[in-house]
Each structure stands twice: as C-alpha cells, then as structure tokens.
Structure 1
Amino acid sequence: MSGVLYGIGVGPGDPELMTLKAVRKIRECSVIAVPGRQPEDSTAFQIAVKICPEIREKELAGIHMPMTRDETKLRESHETGASVLREYLLKGEDVAFLTLGDPTVYSTYLYLHRMLRKQGFTAKIINGIPSFCAAAARMDTGLAEKNQPLHIIPAAYEVENSLKLSGTKVFMKAGKNLSKLKEKLVQRNLSGKMVENCGMTDEKLYGCTDEIPLEAGYYSLIIVKEQEETK
C-alpha cells in the first residue's frame, strides 16, 4: 500500500502557533519534506524543529522550488519534486511536506499535491495559521468587520488596481516591491501597517505608511484598511 502525502502548514513563524494536528502528524510521518535543497536550512523546518526536535532523526527530503516566473522551469521543478516524493510514497512511507503559513495560500506545495493526486496517490492538507491573520494580531488590528471585503494580494504583481478595491487589502511577500508599493500608498493617501518576518526572532513592526522602509525582507506583509484612509 502506498504512503500518504500530507501538506502541513506550520504557521507564519512562531512555533507555538503550530496546530496540535500539525504536530501530531509531523511526529507520525516517517519522512519530512521541505522546500529547498538543504532541508535543515528551510524556514519551515526551523519552525517545526523547535516543537518537534525528533524530526532531525527522520528521513529528510529537500524539494528544490526555484523563485522564478519561468513556466518551463517551474514545471520541471514540480515534476522533479513530485518524482522525489513518489519514491517515498511507493515504498509505503507517509510524508509530511512542511510549508510556511497555510498550504492553501500561495503555497508551492499545491502543485505537488495536485500532480500526485492525479497520479493516484493520496494527498491531504493540514491547514495552518496564515501569515495575514498572525500579522493582524501582532498589529492589534482587525481584518474584516461587518460587510467589509478582505482581499489577499501577491505584492509581486500589479498592485495599482488592487489599491482601488474596497475593504481591507493584504499585500503578501512585499519585500522586493516595497518601495513601489509604499510610493503608491503615499500617492493615494492610504495608511498601511507592515509586519516583517512575523513571529520570527527578527520580527519588525511598522505602524503606519511613513514608518515602512524602502527595503525589507521577503516575508514582509502590508495591511491597508479602507477606514484608515486619510481624507
């Protein structure tokens, strides 16, 4: 009988935000897979190991997932990653694939999940606390109230039209595009709050647009609330 693949969200950074179900399943699986060539260098691994130190003794599989928009390279990396996981599953090994935040939110795991399910394998998702919920809590702010819509937006893509949307806008992974996004916020008199590396040891909080730096790390998230616009 083939093993089962579990896509497990380990939360945004604070190990204490891992769910009980995630911890239990990580401990039960014989193989731990993470994005990256060196498993122990993975951010997701470093979060999980603080709660489950025994995973250092398990079989570790690094799945290379390049940061690129080249569809050919992405497809090749997904096929290679699925092939690595398939070998474990065919041996009857259950695999825990660790991913930051929640596996359903801008996660590369989903590509592997769909590919292996199409090939007849069993793959399941164990959700985690998404970064935007943790960031809102750290900034002591709500995300949606009454009839307000909530928009989750990848900051690496066009943001101009997104800023016109009503309700709360959350721009994820804003690091490389921070200066442009801040410029747009200033132009539209919008107030944004930013959390960099939420829940990690080097976490930084910025309470308004003026405080947001022009450069920051990859895991930077900006929350823009409609009612905080300056009229």
Structure 2
Amino acid sequence: MNGTLYGVSVGPGDPGLITVRAVEVIRACGVIAVPRSSDGAERVALGIAENAVPELGKKELVELSMPMTRDPDRLEAARAAAVESLAAYLRAGRDVAFLTIGDVTVYSTYGYLHERVKAMGFPVEMIAGVPSFCAAAARLGEPLTDAAKPLHIIPAPYEGLEEALALPGTKVLMKSGKYFGEVRRLLVGRGVDARMVERCGLSGERVYRSLADAPDDAGYLSIIMVKE
C-alpha cells in the first residue's frame, strides 16, 4: 500500500497556534519533509513543529531543494526532483508530512508538489492552519476587515502593486523580503495607512505601527497591512 503525502500547516510561529490535527499528523508520519531555500523558512517551520511535537527529532528528515528564483528551468528541475524524492517514500508505503509555515494553501511551495504527486496516483491531503496575516492582525489588535469591506492578499513583488493598492478594502502584502525597501517607499510616498509585523510569533518579532519606522532590511517573514 502506498503512503500518503500530507501538506501540514504549522501556523505563523507561536507553537500554541499549531492545530491539533497538524500535531496528530506529524506524530503519525515517519518522514518529515521541509523545503530548503535561501530564506531559511524551512528551519522556521521545523522549529515550530519541534516545539509542539518534541519527538519529531527522532523521525527521518528530508530536505527538498526549493530555490528562491524566478528562473523557470531551475524551478522546474527542483520541483521534479522533489516530487521524485517524495514518491520514493510513498511507494515504500511511508507517510510523509511536508511542513509549511502559515497555511498550506497560501503561497506555499507545497502546492506545486501536491498536484504532481496526486497526478501520480498517490493519496494526498492538506492540513489547514492559522494564516500568518490573521496572526499579524491579531498581534496588531485590529480586524483585517469588517462589514462588507473586501480583503485582498497580494504578493509584495507583484508587478501591478500600484494598481492593487487602489482596490477598495484592506490590502495584505506578503513576501516583501528583498523588495521591502522599494515597497515601503511606495507606500510612504502614497501616504497610505500601513503597519507591519515582522516574524510574527517568533523570536525577534517586531511590530511597526508606521512603515516609516521600519528598516529597509526587513525580512521575508514580514506582513504589511494597508487599510483605508
């Protein structure tokens, strides 16, 4: 019998925000997979899970190379290699938990692997979690949206960012990383009401009620909230 691949959300950072279901799946799986990339997010996800499931350290750990690049050839090669690595465990009847920060359905590298592994005939399942932008809004003590106001989730490097900022309602900007300085200058220049939480729920967490106070070297794990 083939094993099952689980995409497991571990939440934004605070181990208290990892779900009971995620803990159950991590405990049940003999193999733990994490993406390996230059932003170090895989170590963040692994650290969150280890705090919630101490016995995780006794399980087999598989690091899958996922380069932070827009080069389609490099991305395709990395994804194909990751799928083959996962498939080898699944063929052997071993269940695999692929850990991802935040929620597995939001800007997660797991999504690419999920569809390909599923197409190969293996059972797959996504385990929902607390999205980072929800945790950031709670940390700020503000609702993301209310009444009939829309909510937009936008990647900060998005080429149409200026147009997206004109949309009604609340805008959440994710994945700013190396683009943060440019994004901050754009937002400050437009005089919008924006605040940011960096490394929400993790060591080194920083909260900025004004982007003007934030440094240009804010990390990849930064959530910017723009409200009307």
SS class of match (1:160):
helix
SS class of match (2:102):
coil
2-side partners of 1:101 and 1:209: how far apart? 23
| Worse overlay, 145-154 or 173-182 | 173-182
1-side partners of 2:41 and 2:207: how far apart? 27
CA contact (8 A) 2:6 2:127 kept: yes
State the partner residue of 1:149. 150
Q: Residues 164 and 206 from structure 1, CA distance in 2 versus in 1: closer, same or farther, beyond 3 angstroms?
A: same
1-side partners of 2:60 and 2:215: how far apart? 41
Q: State whether structure 2 residue 137 is matched by structure 1 residue 129.
A: no
State the partner residue of 1:32. 32
State the partner residue of 2:61. 60
Cα root mean square deviation, aligned: 1.7
How far off is 1:160 after superposition?
Answer: 1.1
State the partner residue of 1:185. 187
SS class of match (1:195):
strand
State the partner residue of 2:170. 168
Q: State whether structure 2 residue 51 is matched by structure 1 residue 50.
A: yes
Q: State whether structure 2 residue 75 is matched by structure 1 residue 74.
A: yes
CA contact (8 A) 1:10 1:19 kept: yes
How far off is 1:209 after superposition?
Answer: 2.9
Q: Give the 5 Å matches for 1:7-18.
A: 7-18=7-18
- Pick aligned residue for 2:208 from 206, 209, 214: 206
Runs of 4+ in 1 over 4 A off after TM superposition: none
- 1:119-141 CA-to-partner distances (Å, cap 9, x unmatched) read 11111000110100000000011
How far off is 1:215 after superposition?
Answer: 2.1
How far off is 1:185 after superposition?
Answer: 1.4
Mind listing any 5+ residue stretches in structure 1 that lack a counterpart? Answer: 227-231
2-side partners of 1:161 and 1:40: how far apart? 29
2-side partners of 1:194 and 1:157: how far apart? 18
Mind listing any 5+ residue stretches in structure 2 that lack a counterpart? Answer: none
How far off is 1:41 after superposition?
Answer: 6.6
How far off is 1:175 after superposition?
Answer: 2.4
2-side partners of 1:167 and 1:183: how far apart? 21
- 1:14-35 CA-to-partner distances (Å, cap 9, x unmatched) read 1111000000110001111111
Give, as a single letter, the amino acid of the residue that structure 1 aligns with 2:87.
R
How many residue pairs were aligned?
226
State the partner residue of 1:229. none
CA contact (8 A) 1:155 1:171 kept: yes
Give the structure-2-normalised TM-score.
0.95
| Aligned residues with identical type, % of pairs | 50
- Pick aligned residue for 2:223 from 213, 221, 224: 221
1-side partners of 2:211 and 2:59: how far apart? 44
State the partner residue of 2:102. 101
Give the structure-1-normalised TM-score.
0.94
Q: State whether structure 2 residue 4 is matched by structure 1 residue 4.
A: yes
CA contact (8 A) 2:35 2:42 kept: no
Q: Give the 5 Å matches for 1:115-126.
A: 115-126=116-127
2-side partners of 1:58 and 1:40: how far apart? 20
